[in-house]
Structure formats: structure tokens, C-alpha cells
Amino acid sequence: MRKAGTGRVVLIGLAGLFVTLVVGSLLQPRDWQTYPPAISGALWKADSDGQPTIYYLTEEQWEKQYFSRRSSFTSPFARYVLIARHAETGEVLHRQRIRDIKNALIGRGPSMLGPVPGGFWLWNEGLEVRDPKSLAITLTGEQIRERNPDLADNIPTEERFYKVSEPHQALLFKGLDARFFQIDARTGKISPAQESLLEQVTWQKTAESGFTYVRPPGLFPFYQDLEGYVINSFMTRPERDRTGGPRTGQWYGLLTQSERTALSKWSVRPSKPYGEVSRFLYRVAYQLDDRNQPEIDPARVEQLSEERFLEGGFLKRGARSIWDVPDPSSSLVLCRDKLGTDSPWVVVRIGRDGKSLWRQPTGIADLDQIADGGTHLIMAGYATKNEPTRLRKELLVWIDTRTGKRREFSVGATSSSI
């Protein structure tokens, strides 16, 4: 009888333990993603062991459900993930969760400050350096303070006082005493910044204005200015002929018929194309006058083809240069095939003779930003404007500028389609 009673006690104990474990597991918090991920900030380009890489942060909206014995409730939070992709193929190289923030406010999440030799600076409730290959943390703001005890009280705690400077190839900061310093990303040591480099950034020739406007490396110049991506005309480099006459070159323009009619001999400066209009490609020789200013003969302007470029413009690659693709020398044009809110943008490669070498629909109607992948044009945006903003899935599109081959990715996924 004692053995049987002992067995029942053991069985009852095991059953109770099982029930406790089951109930406990059911009461564990659960989380799920509520909206598709979206890019937070810019697309950045940097080298990782000699491999051109595109870096960006995504923001994902999640909810976590908590349980008690009598009720449950949910709590929303934002999840930030750092992603590195191969600049030519678009394939994901690394992903690293950065931080979860409950009830995150706009602008309060992590942000990327820029790449420097030896790392990538982030602001994540303070300074961080991430390894460009593994994305692991290699230096923190706390370590910087520990390694610079004499300057610890002069180090600011606000993101706005920090800038990655391309001329310095380092992170600069404006100390609380208004002096400028730079931080070595490998050692964390602080040294005075070379202010003469900042003084060369703007026409004001001051370190203060230079710090305000200095650009970081790896950031496409026009990522926040969609209209800044395109211009309506450009000139080839002027050359002097063998007779020693004035230097000449070719002027190309994407113009409406009324813009063509209004041309004068000084109508060579590029401008931003505006309006839902149809443009055609024109060409004419220009020459530099005695003031070294270009001028054209409007009577000699020729239309190169009947191809229409709706809302078309030449893609820019730099502040004063178009996106030129070699072999043969050609330009990239951004346009649409038809008007309409959901009509996707199209990229066309046009040779100097006016003929299209390839024409590739991007699949993006709402363009968010563009990045320079070297041999590839990288575009981020949405397939439609006619869905609620938070429900739309943001896309990344890689276009080979030589062949026009297209690859499409979700900003947070590894899968792709061609």
C-alpha cells in the first residue's frame, strides 16, 4: 500500500509540474511584426575589406503581447536593424539588430553618421563604432570617455554636435567649449581637428560654417532631394580643334517643343525639369567665347529621335556631373512610360548618337532615394502610392548601368527577383 501511495504522489507531482510548465509557457510574452520594414535614413556606400558595400538601417514596427492569469495586453515597439549588402549584386552580407524602442518617436531612433577607415559611426543613444564587415560594436562612447579622461567633461551628449567629415576621414565633434576635435575610430583617442580643412568647405571660410555643411563620405549628394537627381541638359568636355580655333563640344538637352523654340545662344546652363510633359532629346555643338562662356546656335539644334521621355531628365552623379556610362559613352535618363500616380519610373541608357542602348522599368512609382553602387544604380521606393503608407512594402532595386539588368529586393529580406 505504501508503494502504491508513493507512486500516486509522484504522478500527481509530475502532472502538477507539467501543468505549471504548460501554463508558464502560455503566459510567456509573444511578439510579432505589425508593418513591413522601411529604410530609416540614407543608403551609405563604404568599403569592407576592399569590397564595395551598401549599408542602411531599417525600422520595423512590432507588438509584444503580455499575459497574466486573468488578462493580457499588447505594447508596440520599433525595432532597428543594420543591414549590409554587396554593392554590385545586392545580396545581404550581414544583418545586425541594433535596438528595440518602446513607443519610439520620429527622429529618436538610431542613425548612421558615416563611414571612416576602420569602422562605421552610429548614433545609438550615444556613439558607437561598428565593424564594417561583422557589424559588431568595436568602440562605444563610454570607452571614448574612459580613454580621454582629461576631455570627458567636454564631450557632448547630443547627436547634433557630431559630424563625419570627408576631408578629415574621421568623426568630428564640437566640444562643449566650442572647440573642434576628431576621434580615432580604432583607438578612441581624441585630438584637435584640423580647422583649416573645415575653412575650405564654404565660401565663408570659417570652421563654424564648414562644420555645419561638411559632407560625410559614402552619401549620395542628392538623397534628400528628388528633383536634384535630374537636370535637363549637359555639355561634353570642350576640346580645341587642330586649327587652334575656339574650344568646342556637344550640348545635349531634354526639352519640350516649346522649350526648344525658346532656346537662345546662351541657353546652355542646366536646370531642373518640371511638369508632367513630354520631352525629346536634342543636340547641338557649342563653343567657348572670348569670355570662356559657352554659346550655341539655336538654328543648328537637331532632334535626335522621336522617342518621348515623359517627365524625363538626365540622372546626375555628382554636384556638377551627369551619370556617364562608358563603352560607349552614354547617359542615364530617368523618365516614365506614361503619366499617372502609379506609373513606375523607367531608366534609359542613351548613347551620344541619341539611340537607346537599353530601357528598364524600375517597378518603383514612389521614389524615395537613389544611391551610387559603382557599376549599379540603386533605387529605393514603393511600387504604389495608392496604399496606406504603413502598409506599403519598400523595395530596393539594383540596375546594372552597362546592361540594364534589374534585381529587386525587399529592404528587410534576403530574397530577390530579376
Strand partners, 37: none
Q: Which of 174-203 are b and which e, b meaning 16 or more Cβ less than 10 Å from the residue's Cβ?
A: bbeeeebbbbbbeebebeebbbebbeebee
**Domain membership flag for residue 344:** yes
Q: Give yes or no for a contact between 283 and 354, defined as CB atoms under 8 angstroms apart.
A: yes
* Containing structural domain, residue 203: 139-219
CA-nearest of 85, 62, 88, 84 to 75 is 62
Give me the pLDDT at residue 386, please.
Answer: 83
Q: Is residue 408 part of a domain?
A: no
Q: Within this chain, do residues 240 and 203 fall inside the same structural domain, yes or no?
A: no
Residues 205 and 269 in one domain: no
Mean pLDDT, rounded, for 332-350:
94
The answer to whether the CB of 382 falls within 8 A of the CB of 93 is no
> For the segment 355-365, what is each residue's pLDDT rounded down to a tens digit?
999 999 999 99
pLDDT tens, position by position, 93-127: 999 999 888 865 555 789 999 999 989 999 999 99
For a pLDDT cut of 70, what percent of the chain falls above it?
85
- Cβ contact 362:318 at 8 Å: no
Query: How many domains in the chain?
Result: 2
Q: Which of the listed residues 314, 334, 358 is the one where a domain comes to its end?
A: 358
Confirm whether 371 is domain-assigned.
Answer: no
Q: Where is the domain boundary, 219, 249, 284?
A: 219
Co-location of 252 and 351 in the same domain: yes
234 lies in the same domain as 209: no
CA distances in angstroms from 388 to 34, 36, 41, 382, 393, listed in the order given: 14, 12, 20, 11, 10
Q: Record the pTM.
A: 0.85
Among 358, 393, 412, where does a domain finish? 358
Q: What is the DSSP letter of 124?
A: S
242 within some domain = yes
pLDDT category at 26 given cuts 50, 70, 90 is very low
pLDDT band at 7 (very low <50, low <70, confident <90, very high): low
For 221, residues 6+ apart whose C-beta sits below 8 A from its C-beta are: 215, 228, 316, 318, 319
Asked if residues 395 and 408 have their Cβ atoms less than 8 Å apart, the reply is: yes
pLDDT digit string (tens) for 370-399?
Answer: 999 999 999 999 999 888 777 889 999 999
Amino acid (one-letter) located at 164: V
